[in-house]
């Protein structure tokens, strides 16, 4: 049995907010935000949009993309929906996966949400892959979908400028093929860092120690990449692209520099979307595949980190 990605898709809210359009009270500037983060704009949910709505659209786009790749999968064939989100429509239950299942008419799918903050897509990918194998299922949707604009503190200029809403999805197929598409996975947590990035229980807003998160992120990205390369016996020459969670372009640049690897192997897609948490990696996969940078047969690494603290990565052949 071999599991592979056969479709990718993304969805963004209708409303785009440029740095220059942020509220004046924030006392920030396009120059500061770009020079400290690489962010130029973000998409924000408005009426009739939320993380489940975006998740459905991203999933539909992944199914359509699979079709264009020659894989005709209808929603009734989907066995599993794994949805990573930090901002579900309902805190607690029902899960976003259930809302998405209903909208897609995926009548035969099991579904649940994953909570691992910005690392959630990688956790979901490994969970989806493992369950397809374990349950002898054929198709799984793994979705990262976020409405961070609902939980950012719009009075805190050091954090609110970082985040945006959006969704990305992949469709996994479990087939009889002998080729293994996924290599190793790395997953980890460190609850000692819980207080550097958390959602307040009373105010339901993001609280962040930016410096602590930055230092953790650079260190962890380096470790994830090195561990995956060691596990799968890869050198940098074997790897075409290293697709990182898009939190701040400076984090990615610093990790690349510390590893002494060419920055060209680290695509940066934060300018338009800002940090979309667990949606950032599947959105990046969609854009890179659509614009022809990510090609069939390429060896890639994925690496993410986030609140928890959590982290995760994997190697795969596209």
Ligand X SMILES: CC(C)(COP(=O)(O)OP(=O)(O)OC[C@H]1O[C@@H](n2cnc3c(N)ncnc32)[C@H](O)[C@@H]1OP(=O)(O)O)[C@@H](O)C(=O)NCCC(=O)NCCS
Our CB check for ligand X shows the closer of 29 and 136 to be 29
Residue (250 or 299) nearer to ligand X, CB: 250
Residues in contact with ligand X by CB under 6 A are: 28, 32-33, 36-37, 118, 157-158, 161-162, 208, 210-211, 213-214, 217, 247-248, 275, 306
CA pair distance 242, 264, nearest whole angstrom:
9
In angstroms, the CA 115 to CA 124 distance is: 9
Nearer to ligand X, 157 or 258 (CB): 157
**CB of residue 117 to ligand X, shortest distance in Å:** 7
Report the nearest approach of ligand X to the CB of residue 77 (Å).
Answer: 34
Minimum distance, C-beta of residue 194 to ligand X, in the bound complex (Å): 14
CA-closest candidate to residue 266, choices 211, 225, 214, 213: 225
Alpha carbons 38 and 41: distance in angstroms, whole number: 10
Contact 317, 229 (CB under 8 A): no
Q: Give the span between the Cα atoms of 315 and 236, in whole angstroms.
A: 12
Between 182 and 198, CB nearer to ligand X: 198
b/e burial code for range 1-10 (CB count within 10 A of at least 16 → b): eebbbbbbbb
**What is d(CA 141, CA 220) in angstroms, rounded to the nearest whole number?**
27
Q: Which of 85, 86, 93, 185 minimizes the C-alpha distance to 143?
A: 85
Quote the strand ranges of 190-318, DSSP E: 197-199, 206-208, 241-244, 299-306, 310-317
Q: Which residues are catalytic?
A: 118, 245, 275
Q: How far is the CB of 26 from ligand X (least distance, A)?
A: 7
CB-based burial label for 58 (10 Å; 0-12, 13-18, 19+) = buried
Cα 125 to chain center, whole Å?
Answer: 10
* Residue whose beta carbon is closest to ligand X: 210
Residue whose CB is less far from ligand X, 36 or 181: 36
Residue 304: CB minimum distance to ligand X, A: 8
């Amino acid at each position: 049995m071999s599991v592979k990605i056969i479709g990718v898709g993304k969805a963004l809210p209708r409303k785009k907010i440029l740095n220059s359009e942020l509220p004046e009270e924030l006392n920030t500037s396009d120059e500061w935000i770009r020079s400290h983060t690489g962010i130029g704009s973000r998409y924000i949910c408005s009426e009739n949009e939320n993380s489940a709505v975006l998740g459905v659209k991203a999933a539909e786009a992944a199914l359509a993309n699979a079709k264009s790749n020659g894989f005709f999968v209808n929603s009734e064939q989907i066995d599993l929906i794994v949805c990573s989100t930090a901002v579900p429509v309902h805190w607690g239950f029902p899960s976003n996966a259930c809302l998405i299942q209903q909208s897609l008419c995926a009548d035969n799918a099991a579904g649940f949400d994953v909570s691992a903050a910005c690392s959630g897509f990688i956790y979901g990918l490994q969970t989806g892959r493992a369950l397809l194998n374990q349950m002898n299922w054929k198709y799984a949707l793994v979705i990262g979908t976020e409405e961070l604009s609902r939980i950012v503190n719009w009075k805190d200029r050091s954090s609110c400028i970082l985040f945006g809403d959006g969704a990305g999805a992949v469709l996994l197929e479990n087939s009889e093929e002998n080729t293994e598409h996924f290599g190793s996975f790395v997953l980890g947590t460190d609850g000692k860092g819980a207080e550097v990035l958390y959602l307040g229980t009373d105010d339901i807003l993001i609280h962040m120690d930016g410096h602590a998160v930055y230092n953790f992120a650079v260190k962890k990205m380096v470790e994830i990449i090195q561990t995956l390369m060691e596990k799968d016996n890869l050198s940098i020459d074997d790897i075409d692209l290293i697709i990182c969670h898009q939190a701040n372009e400076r984090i990615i640049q610093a990790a690349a520099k510390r590893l002494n690897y060419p920055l060209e192997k680290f695509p940066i897609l934060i300018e338009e979307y800002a940090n979309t948490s667990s949606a950032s990696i599947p959105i990046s996969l969609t854009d890179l595949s659509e614009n022809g940078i990510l090609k069939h047969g390429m060896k890639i690494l994925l690496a993410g980190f986030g609140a928890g603290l959590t982290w995760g990565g994997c190697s795969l052949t596209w």
